[in-house]
C-alpha cells in the first residue's frame, strides 16, 4: 500500500504528483528490480512529505521540481537508481529541517555524499562571491562522484524551463550563470541535447528580441528548407542502396543560439547562412567497421555532390575531448545552396546526444585505451586538487583550461597532446612536465626555431629546448593560456625563489641595522603588506635581488623621513592598476553609471546593471560576454535597470561596413551621417582591397531606433553590400 499524500496538496495536485511519479518510472531506463523500485519509492514519498509546505514562485507545489529533475536525470542522461534518489532529495537539506545525518541514516553514505555536493552554501564568512563558492563545490565533485554534476545539470535545466515566473534581474542572473558555466559543462560531458537547450533558454532571457526573431525566421523557412533537403537526400539514399551500404538519413535543425552564433561569427544575415538545417547520415554497424563504413558513405556523398574540401572535419580520427566522433562535410546541393552533412555510426550518435552515460554504455572491460573524455576527466581532477583556494580564480581557471576549444599537437615521438586553443610553446612544455617548463628556452616547431610565446596550431610537432641555467620567470605569465601551466609556473617560481632565502635574510638584517630597527617579523610584515606580498619567500627573494632595498623599507617603516616618496608609493599602490576604460555619465543628479566600452550599450538595447559599493553602476548589454561573466560571479549585485523612453545623451555605436570601391562613396556616407541624420562621428577607418572597401565607423546615436534607421539608410546606398553593428 502506497503512502497517503499530505493534505497540504489539493486533490488535483495529488493527482498531478502521482502522474509525474508514473512518468518518472516510465523515464527510468536502467535496471528496475523490486528492491530498486522500493528504494526510489521511499525517496519519492520522503521528498513529497519534506516539501509539503513549500511552493514555487509560480504557485505550484515545490515537489514538482525535484520530480522533474529526477525525470531529466533518468530520461535525458540515462542515470539509475542512486542518481534518481539523489535527484529527488537534492533540495531537502537546503530547504527543509532535515539534515545530512537524517539522509545518511535513511538512505546511506553514498546518497548522503551526493546530496551534500548538491547542497548550496548558505553563507560563507569572507567569501567574495557565494556563486563562485557554490560553482567550485559542484565542480570539485568531479574528483569523487560525477553524479553530483550530472544531477546539478538536470536541476539547472528544469530551473531554466520554468524561469518565466522569476523577476527580470533573477532571470538575467540565472541565464548568465547557465551560459558561463552550465552549458559549457554539459558540452564537455557530451550532453549535447541538454547543452543546446540550456543555450537556447539562456539566449531567450538575455536577448529575447534576437531569440524570438531568429526562431520566427527558422519557423518561416522550415517548410521550404525541409522540402529542398528531402530532394537532396533522395539520390544519396539510392546510391547507398546500390552500393549495399546500410544507413539512414535524418534532417536536423540547429538550435536558435547556434544559428545566432554562426550569424555573428560569419557576419551573415539569416538568409545567407547555409547551416541552419543539416543532414545526418547514420550507419548501424559493429564498432570495428565504423571508420570504414563512414568513409564509404562520404565517398557516396561526394559521388552525388561536389564537396567543399576545406570544410571537411574528421572527428573520427581525432575525437573531441567529450567523446564526440563524426565526419562533417559541406557539399553543394541541387538548388545552389551549401548543405552540411554529418556522417556517423549509431554508437557515435548516442554518444553525441547523451555523452557520458552513452560512453560508459559502450565501454567494455577489454577496452583499456583512454578516450578524450578519460583524459579530460583526469585533467579536471588534477586541476581540482592543485588549484587556488580563491573560488573566483578557481572557476575562471577551470573554464579557461577545460571549456576552451581544443587543438592537437605532437611530440617528436609522435604522441598526440590535446591543448586548449590559443596555447603557446610554453603551455606545451608545462603540459609535458613542470621541470621541462621551468627550464625551457625555445622550441623547434615543425623543425623551425620558435620562441616560448609562439601560439601553436592544430597538427604542430613540438620539441622543447631546455637549459639548466634557465629559471621560471614572472613575465612568462603574460603568454601562458592554460591554468595548468600557470599553476606549475607559480610553483616553479616559488621553488626557485626559496633558494634566495638565506641571502635575503642576511641583507634584511643588514638594512635594519643601518636603520637602527629590529629585523622583527612585525616589521617585515608591514613591508610585505605595503608591497602586496603574501609570502615570506617572495619577500626575501625581492630583498636578495634588490627589488626591496633600504630606501623602500625606510619609506614604509619611517615615512616621516621620506613623506613625498611614501605618498608616491601609496598612490601607486592604490591607483596603479587602471580599470577598464568607461565613460562616466551622471543623469540629472539621481545616480552615476558607467556605459561599458566592451559592448557600448545604447538606449533600446536589453541591458544589465551591476552595483558595487562606492562605484557607479556598470551598464552592459545583456548578452555581453563580460556581463555574463560578472553575472556568474556577482549575481546578487545585479540591479533592475532600463533605459528612459527618451535620452538627451548620445551614446557611441560602431558599425562595420562592406562596400564596393566607387568614386564618391565616402562623401555619400558622411553626407548621410552629418547632413541627413544630423549625427556626430567619433572615428572613421577605411581600407580598400582590390574593389572592396572595409569601413569601421563609430558614431554617436541616442537610441537603437536611430541606429536602425541609420543602418537602413546605409543599406539603401547602391555600393554598400553589408552593414553590421560591432559587438566589440
Residue 606, number of CB atoms within 10 A of its CB: 19
Rounded Cα distance, 554 and 207, in Å: 56
Residue 604 contacts residue 644 (beta carbons within 8 Å): no
Residue 395 contacts residue 132 (beta carbons within 8 Å): yes
SS3 678: coil
Respond yes or no: is residue 382 known to be catalytic.
no
Rounded Cα distance, 408 and 430, in Å: 15
Phi first, then psi: what are they for 29, rounded to 5°? Answer: -100, -20
For the CA atoms of the chain, what is the radius of gyration? 30
Residue 95 vs residues 98, 112, 213, 534: alpha-carbon distances, Å: 8, 15, 39, 39
The torsion region of residue 78 among left (phi > 0), alpha (psi -120 to 50) and beta comes to left
Which residues, including other chains, have CB under 8 Å from residue 359's CB and lie 6 or more apart? 190, 323, 351, 371, 373
* DSSP structural state of residue 276: G
Rounded Cα distance, 81 and 301, in Å: 44
Query: Which residues lie across from 571 on neighbouring strands?
Result: none
Rounded Cα distance, 78 and 508, in Å: 63
Using a CB cutoff of 8 Å and minimum separation of 24, what contacts does 208-214 make?
Answer: 208/606, 209/606, 210/260, 210/623, 211/256, 211/260, 214/256, 214/259, 214/260, 214/263, 214/270
Q: Sort 514 into a burial class: Cβ within 10 Å, 0-12 / 13-18 / 19+.
A: exposed
| Strand 591-596 relative to strand 617-621, pairing | parallel
Measured in Å, how far apart are the chain's first and last C-alpha atoms?
63
Residue 150, number of CB atoms within 10 A of its CB: 29
Rounded Cα distance, 44 and 24, in Å: 10
| Strand 617-621 relative to strand 607-610, pairing | antiparallel
Residue 656 contacts residue 694 (beta carbons within 8 Å): yes
Q: Which is the catalytic residue, given 95, 253, 314, 503?
A: 95
Residue 208, number of CB atoms within 10 A of its CB: 13
Rounded Cα distance, 152 and 51, in Å: 19
Q: Which is the catalytic residue, given 53, 94, 272, 708?
A: 94
Residue 638 contacts residue 169 (beta carbons within 8 Å): yes
Rounded Cα distance, 73 and 716, in Å: 52
Rounded Cα distance, 723 and 728, in Å: 15
Residue 428 contacts residue 462 (beta carbons within 8 Å): yes
Cα 644–Cα 646–Cα 649 angle in degrees, nearest 5? 95
Respond yes or no: is residue 2 known to be catalytic.
no
Catalytic residues: 94-95
Amino acid at each position: 500500500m502506497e503512502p497517503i499524500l499530505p493534505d497540504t496538496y489539493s486533490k488535483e495536485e495529488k493527482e498531478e504528483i502521482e502522474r509525474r511519479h508514473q512518468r518518472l518510472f516510465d523515464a527510468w531506463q536502467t535496471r528496475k528490480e523490486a528492491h530498486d523500485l522500493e528504494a526510489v519509492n521511499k525517496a519519492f514519498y520522503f521528498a513529497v512529505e519534506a516539501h509539503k509546505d513549500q511552493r514555487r514562485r509560480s504557485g505550484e507545489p515545490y515537489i514538482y521540481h525535484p520530480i522533474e529533475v529526477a525525470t531529466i536525470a533518468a530520461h535525458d542522461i540515462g542515470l539509475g537508481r542512486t542518481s534518481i534518489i539523489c535527484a529527488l532529495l537534492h533540495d531537502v537539506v537546503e530547504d527543509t529541517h532535515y539534515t545530512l545525518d537524517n539522509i545518511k541514516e535513511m538512505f546511506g553514505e553514498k546518497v548522503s555524499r551526493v546530496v551534500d555536493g548538491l547542497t548550496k552554501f548558505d553563507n560563507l564568512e569572507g567569501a567574495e562571491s557565494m556563486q563562485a563558492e557554490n560553482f567550485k563545490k559542484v565542480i570539485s565533485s568531479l574528483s569523487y562522484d560525477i553524479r553530483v554534476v550530472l544531477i546539478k545539470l538536470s536541476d539547472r535545466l528544469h530551473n531554466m524551463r520554468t524561469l518565466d515566473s522569476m523577476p527580470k534581474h533573477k532571470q538575467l542572473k540565472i541565464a548568465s550563470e547557465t551560459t558561463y558555466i552550465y552549458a559549457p559543462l554539459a558540452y564537455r560531458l557530451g550532453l549535447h541535447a541538454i547543452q543546446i537547450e540550456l543555450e537556447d533558454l539562456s539566449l531567450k532571457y538575455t536577448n529575447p528580441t534576437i531569440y524570438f526573431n531568429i526562431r520566427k525566421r527558422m519557423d518561416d523557412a522550415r517548410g521550404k528548407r525541409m522540402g529542398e533537403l528531402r530532394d537532396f537526400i533522395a539520390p544519396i539514399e539510392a546510391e547507398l542502396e546500390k552500393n549495399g551500404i546500410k544507413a539512414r538519413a535524418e534532417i536536423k535543425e540547429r538550435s536558435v543560439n547556434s544559428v545566432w552564433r554562426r550569424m555573428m561569427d560569419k557576419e551573415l544575415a539569416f538568409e545567407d547562412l547555409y547551416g541552419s538545417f543539416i543532414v545526418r547520415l547514420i550507419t548501424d554497424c559493429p564498432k570495428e567497421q565504423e571508420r570504414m563504413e563512414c568513409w564509404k558513405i562520404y565517398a557516396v556523398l561526394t559521388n552525388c555532390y561536389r564537396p567543399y574540401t576545406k570544410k571537411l572535419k574528421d572527428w573520427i580520427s581525432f575525437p573531441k575531448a567529450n567523446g564526440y566522433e563524426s565526419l562533417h562535410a559541406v557539399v553543394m546541393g541541387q538548388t545552389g545552396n551549401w548543405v552540411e552533412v554529418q556522417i556517423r555510426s549509431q554508437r557515435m550518435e548516442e554518444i553525441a546526444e547523451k555523452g557520458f552515460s552513452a560512453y560508459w554504455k559502450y565501454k567494455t572491460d577489454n577496452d583499456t585505451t583512454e578516450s578524450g573524455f578519460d583524459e579530460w576527466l583526469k585533467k579536471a581532477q588534477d586541476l581540482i586538487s592543485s588549484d587556488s583556494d580563491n573560488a573566483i580564480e578557481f572557476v575562471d581557471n577551470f573554464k579557461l583550461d577545460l571549456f576552451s576549444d581544443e587543438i592537437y599537437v605532437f611530440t617528436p615521438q609522435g604522441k598526440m597532446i590535446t591543448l586548449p586553443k590559443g596555447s603557446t610553446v610554453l603551455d606545451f612544455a608545462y603540459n609535458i612536465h613542470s621541470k621541462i617548463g621551468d627550464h625551457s628556452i625555445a622550441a623547434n616547431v615543425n623543425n623551425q626555431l620558435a620562441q616560448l610565446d609562439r601560439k601553436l596550431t592544430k597538427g604542430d610537432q613540438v620539441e622543447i629546448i631546455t637549459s639548466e641555467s634557465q629559471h621560471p620567470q614572472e613575465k612568462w605569465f603574460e603568454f601562458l593560456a592554460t591554468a595548468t601551466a600557470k599553476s606549475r609556473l607559480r610553483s616553479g617560481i616559488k621553488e626557485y625563489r626559496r633558494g634566495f632565502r638565506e641571502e635575503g635574510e642576511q641583507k634584511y638584517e643588514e638594512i635594519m641595522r643601518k636603520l637602527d630597527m629590529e629585523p622583527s617579523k612585525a616589521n617585515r610584515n608591514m613591508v610585505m603588506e605595503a608591497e602586496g606580498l603574501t609570502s615570506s619567500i617572495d619577500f626575501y627573494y625581492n630583498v636578495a635581488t634588490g627589488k626591496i632595498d633600504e630606501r623602500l623599507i625606510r619609506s614604509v617603516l619611517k615615512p616621516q623621513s621620506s613623506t613625498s616618496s611614501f605618498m608616491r608609493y601609496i598612490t601607486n599602490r592604490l591607483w596603479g592598476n587602471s580599470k577598464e576604460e568607461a565613460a562616466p555619465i551622471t543623469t540629472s543628479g539621481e545616480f552615476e553609471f558607467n556605459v561599458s566600452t566592451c559592448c557600448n550599450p545604447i538606449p533600446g538595447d536589453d541591458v544589465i546593471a551591476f552595483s558595487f559599493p562606492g562605484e557607479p553602476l556598470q551598464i552592459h548589454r545583456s548578452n555581453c560576454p563580460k556581463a555574463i561573466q560578472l553575472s556568474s560571479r556577482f549575481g546578487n549585485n545585479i540591479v533592475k535597470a532600463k533605459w528612459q523612453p527618451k535620452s538627451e545623451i548620445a551614446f557611441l555605436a560602431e558599425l562595420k561596413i562592406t562596400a564596393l570601391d566607387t568614386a564618391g562613396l565616402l562623401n555619400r556616407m558622411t553626407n548621410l551621417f552629418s547632413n541627413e541624420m544630423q549625427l556626430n562621428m567619433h572615428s572613421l577607418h577605411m581600407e580598400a582591397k582590390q574593389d572592396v572597401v572595409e569601413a569601421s565607423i563609430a558614431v554617436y546615436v541616442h537610441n537603437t531606433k536611430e541606429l536602425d534607421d541609420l543602418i537602413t539608410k546605409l543599406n539603401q546606398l547602391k555600393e554598400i553590400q553589408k552593414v553590421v553593428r560591432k559587438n566589440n
